[in-house]
C-alpha cells in the first residue's frame, strides 16, 4: 500500500476569466511557459509530493498545458459558487496530508524560493497552522496551510472568502516576510497582467514572453 503524501499543492484555476474575455488566466504566458505550467513545475521542484489543479469551464483548454506531467486535474462543476468551493474540492482530492500549498493561478509571478521559505517557517513553528507570505507588509499568495486548518476551510460557505478565517485564527496565522514582489501581483485584469509581467521580466532578466503560434 502506498504511503500517503505528507505535502501537496492545490492550484486554483476554476474561474471564468471574464475580464480577459474568457481567455483562461492559466494560459497567460510567463516567460517560456504558460502560468499553470509554471506553477506546476515550481511545485514539483519544491518537493511537494502531490499537486492537483482545480479547473472549471476552461478544463478542455487547460488540460493540454499539463499533459505529460504529474498534476491531477480536478473538475469543479460548482465553480461559480466561489473560489473557496474550489479549494474545498482540492482538499477532497488530495486527502489526508500534513501541509497544503494553496496557489491561485492569478498569482503566477511568485517565485519558488517563497515556497521554500514558507515550508522552512512551518518547520520552525509547531503552533501556527497558516503561513502567509508578506512583501513590504502586504499579504499575498501562495499560502501554506497545516492540516488543523483544513476543518476551518471545509466549514466555510463556497462563496466565503478564505481571508475571513484570518481574524478567527488569530495567533495561529504566521506572517512570513519574503523578498518576492510576485506574491502581491494579482493578475485580475489585462492591465494588471501586463504590468506584473514587465515587473517580473525586470526582476528575473527574462526576455520577451513566449507566445503560442
Structure confidence by residue, pLDDT tens digits, 165-191: 999 999 999 999 999 999 999 999 999
Q: Angle CA(124)–CA(128)–CA(132) in degrees, nearest 5?
A: 90
Residues facing residue 102 across a β-bridge: 10, 143
pLDDT for the residue 23:
92
β-strands 50-55, 72-75: how paired? Answer: parallel
User: What's the CATH architecture for 7-204?
Assistant: Alpha-Beta Complex (3.90)
pLDDT 10s digits, 65-123:
999 889 999 999 999 999 999 999 999 999 989 999 999 999 999 999 999 999 999 99
Give SS3 for 86: helix
Of 89, 90, 18, 33, residue with least CA distance to 66: 33
Residue 204 has pLDDT above 90, yes or no: no
Q: Model's pTM, two decimal places?
A: 0.93
pLDDT for the residue 73:
97
Q: How confident is the model at residue 213 (pLDDT cuts 50, 70, 90)?
A: very low
pLDDT for the residue 1:
41
Q: How confident is the model at residue 210 (pLDDT cuts 50, 70, 90)?
A: low
Q: What is the pLDDT averaged over residues 138-144?
A: 98
Cβ atoms of 79 and 57 closer than 8 Å: yes
Boundaries of every domain in the chain? 7-204
Joined grid coordinates for residue 124: 520552525
Average pLDDT value for the chain: 94
pLDDT for the residue 212:
47
Amino acid at each position: 500500500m502506498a504511503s500517503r503524501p505528507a505535502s501537496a499543492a492545490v492550484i486554483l484555476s476554476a474561474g471564468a476569466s471574464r475580464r480577459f474575455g474568457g481567455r483562461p488566466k492559466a494560459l497567460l504566458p510567463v516567460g517560456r511557459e504558460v502560468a499553470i505550467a509554471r506553477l506546476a513545475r515550481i511545485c514539483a521542484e519544491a518537493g511537494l509530493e502531490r499537486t492537483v489543479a482545480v479547473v472549471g469551464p476552461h478544463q478542455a483548454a487547460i488540460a493540454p498545458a499539463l499533459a505529460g506531467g504529474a498534476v491531477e486535474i480536478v473538475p469543479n462543476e460548482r465553480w461559480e459558487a466561489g473560489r473557496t468551493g474550489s479549494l474545498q474540492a482540492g482538499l477532497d482530492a488530495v486527502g489526508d496530508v500534513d501541509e497544503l500549498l494553496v496557489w491561485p493561478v492569478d498569482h503566477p509571478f511568485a517565485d519558488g524560493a517563497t515556497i521554500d521559505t514558507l515550508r522552512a517557517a512551518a518547520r520552525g513553528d509547531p503552533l501556527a497552522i497558516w503561513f502567509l507570505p508578506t512583501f513590504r507588509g502586504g499579504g499575498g499568495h501562495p499560502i501554506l496551510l497545516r492540516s488543523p486548518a483544513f476543518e476551518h476551510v471545509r466549514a466555510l460557505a463556497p462563496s466565503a472568502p478564505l481571508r475571513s478565517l484570518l481574524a478567527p485564527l488569530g495567533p495561529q496565522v504566521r506572517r512570513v516576510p519574503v523578498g518576492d514582489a510576485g506574491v502581491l501581483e494579482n493578475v485580475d485584469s489585462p492591465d494588471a497582467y501586463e504590468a506584473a509581467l514587465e515587473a517580473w521580466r525586470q526582476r528575473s532578466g527574462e526576455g520577451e514572453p513566449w507566445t503560442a503560434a
